[in-house]
Amino acid sequence: MSTNKKNPTTDKAVVMTAPSIQAAKNTHKICCMTAYDYSSGMIADESGMDLILVGDSLAMVVLGHENTLSVTMDEMVHHTRATSRGVKRALLVADMPFMSACTVNRALKNAGRFISEGHAKAVKLEGGIPVVPQIKALTDAGIPVMAHIGLTPQHVAKFGGFKAQGKSAEATKALIDDALAVEEAGAFCVVLEAIPVEASELITNAVSIPTIGIGAGNVTDGQILVYHDVLGLFDRFTPKFVRKYAELGKASLAALESYCDDVRRERFPGNKNTLYMPEDQIAQVKKIKIKNRNKK
Ligand code: KIV
């Protein structure tokens, strides 16, 4: 991949769009991250991300569910709208939750909600060839679609767990067919999750839209990770493909323990955290008579 072309990610004035993400293939690596609310959206945006996904991983890392199947459209729209208030530059993408796009009509209705109520600029849809009619209908309706193939967590029951995909030549051929089909249907990019780097490279070379990897090696056109994994805020399990850049969970715990300790030892609030009355009012305040209802 050539790296000598101008990288718009260094220019914070450039607002990212689905076409500009699509055009980034073979020019620069595309940086993506999930976010779920105003503050995580703002931090991810200010860090220079090109694309921010309100992922249905919300179900696990924010709402505490076992997998991604339980999050509802209403919850996703609520969090997408909150995230949109913090995102100024990156392309904001909302993840279609389980069964929200199982027919073309449902896909249109629910994706429409993400755009009009959630203020997203695009949606992500899990699946390959089986969801081609939905991708085509959404694209025709003017809603850009990020596709998602490989380990698609909404199919966890079918896969028998969060298991890597595309591990054989036959499975890789099926993934290439999926990738070509979603491109043909109009997707502006495609997420490749938990597949061997060899499969990832073949797919990346086969399609003309950007591939965004998560556990797909360093050969994809971009990378995406889950905010809570990167910052060490979710410890229930950490996939092998995650790199933690901070331990904010541990740092938060230590900070809150210090606060509890300070409250119990009466070290908080201190003078700097206390409001004081103007001098001229103190004498007046002392004259206030309080009727004590507990006195008989
Ligand atoms: O929901 C999510 O966070 C995702 C990304 C991991 C791609 O789908």
Show the domains of the chain with their CATH numbers.
Answer: 18-250 (3.20.20.60)
* Cα–Cα distance for residue pair 31/67, rounded to 1 Å: 25
Q: What is the pLDDT of residue 13?
A: 78
* Cα–Cα distance for residue pair 111/144, rounded to 1 Å: 10
The stretches of 89-211 forming alpha helices (DSSP H) are: 104-116, 132-140, 156-159, 169-185, 197-206
Mean pLDDT of the chain: 94
Residue 4 has pLDDT above 50, yes or no: no
* Cα–Cα distance for residue pair 135/124, rounded to 1 Å: 10
pLDDT tens column, 224-277: 999 999 999 998 888 999 999 999 999 999 999 999 999 999 999 999 999 999
pLDDT tens column, 128-171: 999 999 999 999 999 999 999 999 999 999 999 889 999 999 99
239 Cβ contact list (under 8 Å, min separation 6): 162, 194, 215, 229
* Residues labelled as active-site residues: 193
Ligand 1 pocket test: pick from 33, 95, 100, 211 the residue with the most ligand atoms within 8 Å of its Cβ. 95
> What would the two tokens of residue 207 be?
């399609």
Burial status of residue 78 (CB atoms within 10 A of its CB: 0-12, 13-18, 19 or more): middle
CA 51 to centroid of ligand 1, rounded, Å: 12
Neighbours of 289 (CB within 10 A): 5
Whole-Å CA distances, 190 to 81, 196, 208 = 23, 16, 10
* Cα–Cα distance for residue pair 171/150, rounded to 1 Å: 9
pLDDT tens column, 5-60: 455 555 777 899 999 999 999 999 999 999 999 999 999 999 999 999 999 999 99
The atom number, within ligand 1, closest to the CA of 34 reads: 3
